[in-house]
A and B are shown apart, each in its own frame.
Chain A
Amino acid sequence: MSVPVLETHHIVRDYHVGRTLFAGGQVIHAVKDATLKVEKGKTLAIVGESGSGKSTLARILTLIDPPTSGELLIEGERVDIIKTGVSKQMRRKVQMVFQNPYGSLNPRQKIGDVLAEPLVINTDMPASERQDRAQQMLKKVGLAPEHFNRYPHMFSGGQRQRIAIARALMLNPSLLVLDEPVSALDLSVQAQILNLLADLQDEFQLTYVFISHDLSVVRYIADDVMVMYLGEVVEQGSREAVFADPQHSYTKTLFAATPRADVASIKARLARRAAEIA
């Protein structure tokens, strides 16, 4: 097996809160001991409720925040933000798509500029080539060339998420961290975006870390699943293994809490309610 795109060993992230001049405050462990590994072209889904530390972990994986302790390796190379900083090459390898498509695009930047910005910063490509690249990417994510000169507020949520994905792919990253990319979208658009992500993964051999609380989405897109609860990794394994036979009690609760919408379960529920009334 080749070198995994992403590997972490015992990542910990603590936050100090309420520290004043007189009191020491307390330490909150946002992420406790996360160890994970993602191979090229695979998708790891991180599942958990709000406050379980999944977004904190995402910020560490995307090199935005440093971990308190632990090791982070990207394509086998060790990254230490505090000691050595992040090199431009390293930055290009990891990109992120955010949850809220309304907040992740600069409202005063045209779409063309949004897409070209990473190239302006990281390469000395001539403007015409940048424009060509941006146009191609726009087409790849299913938008039309005439969208090039528009501002973000002229797009719907699903279209904006497509733009955000296009921007993340402009630098040919090897790892894409998706922080709940479809939870702000409605159901049919969710499906479109998920299909787009799957197509792009095939085309570019992308590696995804997919953060979500929606189990049906996870079941669709993930190869491996990691369940987090209060900052702790409680379950980790392949999708089939985790969905077929959840080990930890929290995972079981999580599965039980997913609303079931198949005909059999609806009939059973109606029958139960009728029995209660009678």
Chain B
Amino acid sequence: MTQTTEIAPISASRTSRFAGLVEFWHYFSQSRGAVIGLVVFVLLVLIAAFAPLLTTHSPIEQYKDAFLLPPAWSPGGRPEFLLGTDPVGRDMLSRLMHGARFSLLIGAVVVTLSLVGGITLGLLAGYFRGWVDVVIMRVMDLILAFPSLLLALVLVTILGPGLVNAMLAIALVLQPHFARLVRAAVMAEKNREYVTSAKLAGAGHFRLMLLTILPNCLAPLIVQGTLSFSNAILEAAALGFLGLGAQPPTPEWGTMLANAREFILRAPWVVTFPGLCILVTVLAINLIGDGLRDALDPKLKRS
């Protein structure tokens, strides 16, 4: 209660679009985990963006004199290979840095695809109800009935292995969650009075759906989006691990894990570092998602 009374004058005094942003940051920064997650995520994005500048080696160049070198700080390591080399003599550090590009790309593409699909289907189902709703939601149920990884496996097998197909498959598998979420939110918002009054002002179906209802359904979508981001990275890694995602020599973290698993006892670093990267990324994004949920939860806000 004390907080709400304390920030009300701030947000009321600022009439620009920034007011909402400032208020959002106030709520978001309440959770320390979310801020840490955000910092880690921003670092990852920067590393991914500037990977060619930060690395001294090409991620796919093989050094014939340096198979399975340990990290630089352990005995036998060489300072030019800071995190050691993999079984065919490629520098781990540059592979990991370039791998961040693929992982973030996978997350972004998958979330965008499934968001667009899910919002479209969910809006149509929730707004029109009736047989449109029945048809769309039964298809979604059908997709949800399969274990997601299994369905993605089947799809990739049909489409053929590769990073693009893996992303498509994962997007299709994740999309019903968005559709359900949007449908539920639309059904709740549709009967609110402001929608009726927009209808009275003469708004058509498209205007009502996209401009009146959709902006009010965004909060849960943003949260689900971040959580799906990490899900997508994990599933892509799993598909890569099974040899159906990114193909060698692409430095994708899941594929790196898979290629190195027979050396897990002799050279644990080749498995440990990609695994750690996936863990840290997913953890950071999940923390951001939690923070977003708290910041955007209407129950925690006044009005």
Contacts and interface: CB of A to CB of B under 8 A. Distances in A.
A83 to B, nearest CB: 19
Contacts of A100: 193
Contacts of A88: 202
Contact of A146 (B11, B15, B196): B15
Contacts of A168: 197
A257 interface: no
B193 A104 contact: yes
Contacts of A154: 11-12
A96 B20 CA distance: 30
Nearest to B301: A153
Interface in B187-219: 192-194, 196-204, 207, 212, 215-216
B299 interface: no
A118 interface: yes
Interface string B213-248: 001100000000000000000000000000000000
B266 interface: no
Interface in A138-165: 146, 149-154, 164
Contacts of B207: 121
Contacts of B15: 146, 149-150
Contacts of B216: 106-108
B197 A122 contact: no
A96 B200 contact: yes
A102 B303 contact: yes
B90 to A, nearest CB: 50
A6 B23 CA distance: 47
Interface residues of A, number: 33
A130 interface: no
Contact of B192 (A96, A103, A151, A153): A103
A167 B12 contact: no
B302 interface: yes
A64 B20 CA distance: 34
Contacts of B302: 153
B194 A64 contact: no
Interface string A80-113: 0000000010011011101010111111100000
Interface of A: 62, 64, 88, 91-92, 94-96, 98, 100, 102-108, 117-118, 121-122, 146, 149-154, 164, 167-168, 170-171
25 contacts: A62-B200, A91-B201, A91-B202, A92-B202, A94-B200, A98-B197, A104-B193, A104-B194, A104-B196, A104-B197, A106-B215, A106-B216, A107-B194, A117-B201, A117-B203, A118-B201, A118-B202, A122-B202, A149-B16, A150-B12, A150-B15, A154-B12, A168-B197, A170-B201, A171-B201
Interface of B: 11-12, 15-16, 20, 192-194, 196-204, 207, 212, 215-216, 302-303
Given A106-B198, A121-B203, A167-B201, 20 more contacts: A62-B200, A64-B199, A64-B200, A96-B200, A103-B193, A104-B193, A104-B194, A106-B212, A107-B303, A108-B216, A117-B201, A118-B201, A118-B202, A121-B202, A122-B201, A122-B202, A149-B16, A150-B12, A153-B302, A167-B197
